[in-house]
Amino acid sequence: MTERRILDELVRLLETHGVEIRREALGGSGGGLCTMEGRSVLFLDDQAASEDLLDLCAEAVVKVVDIETCYLKPQVRQYIEARRA
């Protein structure tokens, strides 16, 4: 599975769990997860490297989603678990 497909799966998983995804030009800094007015928002930097975005999304998933209670494609689960270790 390509990095792009894993990123798409992570974004979809976050959206399914109520996280608003905002893609913004942030100068390559990557972005991050925050709470705004009681809701979770993940900022993704359009100018950041895809590897940085993957790491941000994986970190957000660990904070927001109980991955033990939902189905994930094996490659996506493996990517998340590798980042948790």
Domain boundaries, the chain: 3-84
Question: CA 38, CA 68: separation in Å to the nearest integer?
Answer: 25
Query: At residue 37, what are phi and psi to the nearest 5 degrees?
Result: 50, 40
Q: Tokens for 75?
A: 């490659």
Over residues 27-70, the pLDDT tens digits come to: 887 789 999 999 999 999 989 998 999 999 999 999 999 989 99
Quote the pLDDT of residue 22.
Answer: 95
The backbone region for 11, taken as left when phi is positive above 0, alpha when psi lies in -120 to 50, beta otherwise, is: alpha
Assess whether pLDDT exceeds 90 at residue 20. yes
Contact at 8 Å (CB) between 64 and 42?
no
Average pLDDT of span 17-32: 90
pLDDT band at 85 (very low <50, low <70, confident <90, very high): low
